[in-house]
């Protein structure tokens, strides 16, 4: 199509899974004849892909939408807004009355119909009933997130994801491998496999839905993805594994497959058995310590990221202190700390024994201080080492251009970065770097010729 139908501004909030969904919608709209805008004043329409995991994320999504509406109203051009993703999925029935500034709402499971929605808002008339959304994702940059599943079956008492995203459903391996190959052919140097609960990928497949020889669990899928990227020197990372998903086969696959990075992201939330049960999760401190000890013994040099939640209803000071001691004993390389958020509609929101807000914040600060102490030390421990670094971008500083990248032990957008003393490289290049200094979660590196 020679003349674009219109220009679309994309704003993405929340996690990497939303980034994937935005990439998908962008690819669909590009294939349908729309171009991308990078400023509200240049856009014919804007898409805000929202997050509603926490109340604060919902507020940010709504505030961003209203700020955009006000910005557009103050400008010369009129730019209708389409709100997509988790907020419409969670509050869809109430939103049209609450947000008249928004022209259309698209739930997370309706995003493959984005072309018809944008056409409708802009008054584009054409026949798209037979349109099949089988376009290739286009990703600018060295890293691409690939969703291998969506939804969740856990129904943790503090979480609304199953109600927002629906029940767990695995994506078939053929489409995953095909997308990985396309992304690698487009220059991507790291594939990050994500989902709400990646460890149980494939468990929802019926026997008749899986071809002979096709992957049936995450370990087998990792080996298939590794085989697909092997000729191209591409890294493979998997995120969001639950403790129950760490099977012997998966552990051995991560250890024995060179393309798969020895990096594990396991959100434990807590270590106290009573609190975990109240969260509708399983396990105990001893079981978790045994798991992480086993991982470190079986995968030498493994890097471990986790998540801790403090201030869950009825959490006592002793139980909080146990969590702090657990974090210190295990010594996570990276830890995200959250103060419990009383989410409307969740089971935990109805529990008695809600912890005082000030107490929650004090506990969160102490846990974050410990997480930073451990994380800063883990980062500093790499000083003097040499490792490969993927170049993610070039940043202009007062002293000139500076390359920014990440090493294998740093998940993109999560764990800090590597600042390089070279300027002549391109995004996606993989350089051998010697780490010469560190500050907080950041490393300074010298490119080794």
What is the tens place of the pLDDT at every residue in 75-85?
545 689 999 99
Predicted pLDDT at 131: 52
Instruction: Give the whole-angstrom CA distance, residue 230 versus residue 81.
Output: 42
- Read off φ and ψ for residue 193, nearest 5 degrees: -85, 130
Annotated binding site: 15, 51, 86, 152, 156, 159
Give, for 342, the enclosing helix (H) or strand (E). Answer: none
Binned at pLDDT 50, 70 and 90, residue 117 comes out as: very high
Q: Is 295 in the same domain as 347?
A: yes
Annotated binding site for [4Fe-4S] cluster: 15, 51, 86, 152, 156, 159
Burial code (b: 16+ CB inside 10 Å, e: under 16) for 220-237 equals bbbbbbbebbeeeebbbb
Q: Is 356 in the same domain as 396?
A: no
Beta bridge partners of 237: 192
CB 154 within 8 A of CB 162: yes
Predicted pLDDT at 14: 87
Residue 432 falls inside a structural domain: yes
- In this structure, the number of other CB atoms found within 10 A of the CB of residue 407 comes to 21
pLDDT for residue 351 is more than 60: yes
Report which of 438, 384, 370 is spatially closest to residue 410, judged by C-alpha positions: 438
Predicted pLDDT at 40: 86
Q: Which residues contact 336 (CB under 8 A, 6 or more apart)?
A: 267, 305, 306, 307, 308, 371
Predicted pLDDT at 310: 98
Mean pLDDT of 30-54: 90
Q: Of residues 191 and 140, which shows the higher confidence score?
A: 191
Q: Is 428 in the same domain as 279?
A: no
Residue 322 falls inside a structural domain: yes
* Number of independent structural domains in the chain: 3
Instruction: Give the whole-angstrom CA distance, residue 187 versus residue 235.
Output: 12
Is the pTM above the cut of 0.85?
Answer: yes
Residue 2 falls inside a structural domain: no
Predicted pLDDT at 413: 87
Binned at pLDDT 50, 70 and 90, residue 88 comes out as: very high
Strands 35-37 and 190-194 come out as unpaired
283-326 tens-digit pLDDT = 999 999 999 999 999 999 999 999 999 999 999 999 999 999 99
Predicted pLDDT at 396: 73
The boundaries of the domain holding residue 287 are 143-380
pLDDT for residue 184 is more than 80: yes
Mean pLDDT of 245-265: 96
CB 233 within 8 A of CB 428: no
Q: Is 198 in the same domain as 324?
A: yes
Predicted pLDDT at 423: 67
Binned at pLDDT 50, 70 and 90, residue 213 comes out as: confident
Q: Is 360 in the same domain as 259?
A: yes
Residue 20 CB burial class (10 angstroms; 0-12, 13-18, ≥19): buried
CATH of the domain at 55: 3.40.50.12160
């Amino acid at each position: 199509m020679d003349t674009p139908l219109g220009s679309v501004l994309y704003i993405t909030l929340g996690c990497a899974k939303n980034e994937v969904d935005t990439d998908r919608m962008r690819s669909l709209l590009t294939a349908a004849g729309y171009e991308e805008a990078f400023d509200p004043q240049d856009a014919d329409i804007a898409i805000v892909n929202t997050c509603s995991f926490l109340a604060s994320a919902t507020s940010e999504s709504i505030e961003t939408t209203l700020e955009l509406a006000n910005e557009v109203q103050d400008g010369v051009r009129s730019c209708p807004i389409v709100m997509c993703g988790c907020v419409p999925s969670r509050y869809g029935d109430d939103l049209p009355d609450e947000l008249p500034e928004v022209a259309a709402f698209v739930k997370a499971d309706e995003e493959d119909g984005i072309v018809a929605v944008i056409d409708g808002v802009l008054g584009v008339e054409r026949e798209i009933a037979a349109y099949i959304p089988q376009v290739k994702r286009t990703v600018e940059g060295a890293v691409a997130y690939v969703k291998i599943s969506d939804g969740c079956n856990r129904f943790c008492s503090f979480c609304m994801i199953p109600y927002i995203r629906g029940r767990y459903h695995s994506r078939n391996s053929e489409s995953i491998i095909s997308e990985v190959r396309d992304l690698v052919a487009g220059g991507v140097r790291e594939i990050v496999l994500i989902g709400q609960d990646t460890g149980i990928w494939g468990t929802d497949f019926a026997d008749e839905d899986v071809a002979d020889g096709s992957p049936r669990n995450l370990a087998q899928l990792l080996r298939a993805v590794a085989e697909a990227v092997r000729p191209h020197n591409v890294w493979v990372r998997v995120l969001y594994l639950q403790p129950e998903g760490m099977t012997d086969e998966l552990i051995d696959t991560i250890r024995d497959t060179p393309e798969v990075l020895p990096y594990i992201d396991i959100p434990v939330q807590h270590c106290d058995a009573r609190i975990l049960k109240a969260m509708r999760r399983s396990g105990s401190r001893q079981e978790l310590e045994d798991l992480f000890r086993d991982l470190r013994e079986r995968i030498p040099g493994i890097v471990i990221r986790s998540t801790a939640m403090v201030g869950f209803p009825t959490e006592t000071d002793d139980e909080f202190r146990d969590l702090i001691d657990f974090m210190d004993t295990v010594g996570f390389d990276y830890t995200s700390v959250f103060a419990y958020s009383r989410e409307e509609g969740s089971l935990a929101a109805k529990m008695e024994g809600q912890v005082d807000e000030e107490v929650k914040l004090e506990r969160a600060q102490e846990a974050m201080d410990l997480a930073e102490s451990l994380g800063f030390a883990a980062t500093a421990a790499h000083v003097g080492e040499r490792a490969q670094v993927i170049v993610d971008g070039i940043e202009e500083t007062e002293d000139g251009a500076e390359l920014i990248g990440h090493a294998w032990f740093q998940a993109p957008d999560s764990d800090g970065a590597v600042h390089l003393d070279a300027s002549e490289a391109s995004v996606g290049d993989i350089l051998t770097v010697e780490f010469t200094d560190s500050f907080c979660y950041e490393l300074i590196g010298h490119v080794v010729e």
